[in-house]
């Protein structure tokens, strides 16, 4: 909650590199409540137990175990998240990965390293659309 008692929109970021999660948090924390997870497998547990669901996801594609594409499918299995915006943030920004992400319903695609201002602008745009 901010000073006026209004809850900040929630963003769930998932990346296996803590430095990336720290950068995401630093870029967004003034405007959003940011939750960070280092393993894709933690997301379904988080979504089942969270009192309030995130309004946006930021996901890495290449992670050990469940990858980002599999995670997108798992998120979309939750009725409450069929249309929740998902931004993919990846160090492997290939045309193939872009097309696969779009086919899975990703709303934006950002190559690493990301500029914090660009990330904030893209998150703001997706939250406003929602």
Residue range 55-97, pLDDT digits in tens: 999 999 999 999 999 999 999 999 999 999 999 998 888 889 8
Compute the distance between CA of residue 10 and CA of residue 85 in angstroms, rounded to an integer: 12
Only one residue has tokens 């931004």, namely 87
Compute the distance between CA of residue 35 and CA of residue 58 in angstroms, rounded to an integer: 10
pTM: 0.92
Which structure tokens are listed for 13?
Answer: 């970021």
Q: What is the SS3 assignment for 34?
A: strand
**Residue % of the chain over a pLDDT of 90:** 78
What are 4-36's pLDDT values in tens digits? Answer: 678 899 999 999 999 999 999 999 999 999 999
Task: State the virtual CA torsion across 46, 51, 31, 126 in degrees, nearest 10.
Answer: 70
Q: What is the SS3 assignment for 90?
A: strand
Query: What is the reported pLDDT for 14?
Result: 97
Q: Which of the four pLDDT bands, split at 50, 70 and 90, describes residue 1?
A: low
Residue of 41, 39, 35, 32 lying closest to 17 (CA atoms):
39
């Amino acid at each position: 909650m901010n000073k006026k008692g209004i809850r900040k929109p929630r963003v769930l970021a998932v990346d296996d590199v803590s430095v990336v999660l720290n950068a995401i948090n630093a870029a967004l924390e003034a405007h959003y409540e940011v939750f960070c997870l280092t393993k894709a497998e933690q997301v379904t547990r988080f979504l089942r137990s969270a009192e309030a669901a995130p309004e946006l996801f930021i996901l890495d594609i290449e992670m050990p175990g469940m990858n980002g594409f599999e995670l997108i499918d798992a998120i979309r299995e939750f009725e409450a998240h069929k249309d929740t915006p998902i931004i993919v943030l990846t160090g492997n920004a290939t045309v193939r990965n872009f097309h696969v992400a779009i086919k899975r319903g990703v709303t934006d695609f950002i190559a690493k390293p990301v500029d914090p201002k660009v990330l904030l602008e893209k998150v703001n745009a997706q939250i406003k659309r929602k």
